Amino acid sequence: MLVPLLLGLICLLLLGLSLRLFQLGMRKTGNERVLSRLTEGQPVLVAATGVASPMRNYLDHLFLRAGLDRPGERLILWLVVWALLVFLGGLLAGLFGLLVMLLLPPLGLRLFVGWRYRRRVRRMVEQLPQLLDHAVRSLKSGRTLADAILGGIEASADPLREAMTRIRRNVELGVSLPEAASDFAEFYEREEFRFLALGLKVNHRYGGNASELLENLMKLIREREQAARQLRAMTGETRMTAVVLALLPIGVASYFMVTNPGYLLGMWHDPSGQQMLLLSFGLQVLGCLALWRMLRSV
């Protein structure tokens, strides 16, 4: 009787929250919508509305780099859902369920956003030599460096064109091209973009042959990409070993649960066995994180 009543209260709470969010969305003025379109793709400071502003800015930064929309007002809904999951986990499975629901959703979201960011940036770096090649041909036809770079952005495909709209928007607002490129490079934290920004800054300050600079940069990016692929192929065995080591304890525990579930359930109902299972779960999480950090450094 308690569980259906609790679920009914949760449904009513979510319904009221959704109606409140709908009401807030309908109250947006035309000026707010215009400002939202003007600042699309830009990290902006937002006022704290129940959630700390630094946390909102950090999440906006992560989501925008990954090519996702800002959490915005949905962040409050997500936090409420997360709190309800933690409460249900503690109610149905005790301390273990509470810990799982407390750690699993944010960890899964962080891994998903990080995976999206790495895949998107890797694709952008692969498209960058094509943009530089277009800019070199534009320079040789008599266009300025800024026009050549902006023309290369327009001729590029997504996701590079979508991401570099940040540069074009800053230039249209009066920011110099080197400063706009530096802002873009610091936002995505990638060495290839920093090389481009540094080259544009040096050319802007000291002059020189811009087409030769872009050609050398294009050659450098392609050589780095080729070296990264060779390193990935050489370390394939090491990465596979790390994946096997991470999945082996999970596979063994799943095997025991299928063939002899009373073995682990007996440990779970015993106080000392429950402590050992919780300790092993924590060690497994720490081991997976350590392996993940090691794989990122390879």
pLDDT score for 184: 93
Question: Which residue stretches of 39-73 are H helix?
Answer: 53-65
Q: Which residue has the tokens 């649960």?
A: 257
Three-state DSSP at 72 gives coil
Q: Where are the beta strands (DSSP E) in the chain?
A: none
Give me the sign of the Cα torsion angle 151, 220, 226, 61: negative
What single-letter DSSP state applies at residue 173? Answer: T
What percentage of the chain's residues is helix, strand, coil (to nearest 5)? 85, 0, 15
pLDDT value of position 206: 87
Q: How far apart are the first and last CA of the chain?
A: 54
CA atoms within 13 A on the CB side of 241: 6
Residue 289: half-sphere exposure toward Cβ, Cα within 13 Å = 9
C-alpha distances out from residue 180 to 131, 174, 186, Å: 16, 10, 10
**Per-residue DSSP letter, 157:** P
The C-alpha atoms of residue 149 and residue 167 are separated, in whole angstroms, by 10
Q: What is the pLDDT of residue 15?
A: 64
d(CA 101, CA 106): 9
Render each residue's pLDDT in the chain as its tens digit; 298 residues. 455 555 565 666 666 666 666 565 555 545 455 445 544 544 443 333 444 467 777 888 888 888 888 776 677 778 888 888 888 877 777 777 778 888 888 888 888 999 899 999 999 999 999 999 999 999 988 888 889 999 999 988 889 999 999 999 999 888 899 999 999 999 998 888 999 999 999 888 888 888 888 999 999 888 888 888 888 888 777 778 878 888 888 888 888 888 888 877 788 788 888 888 888 888 888 887 887 777 766 5
**What's the confidence (pLDDT) of residue 52?**
44
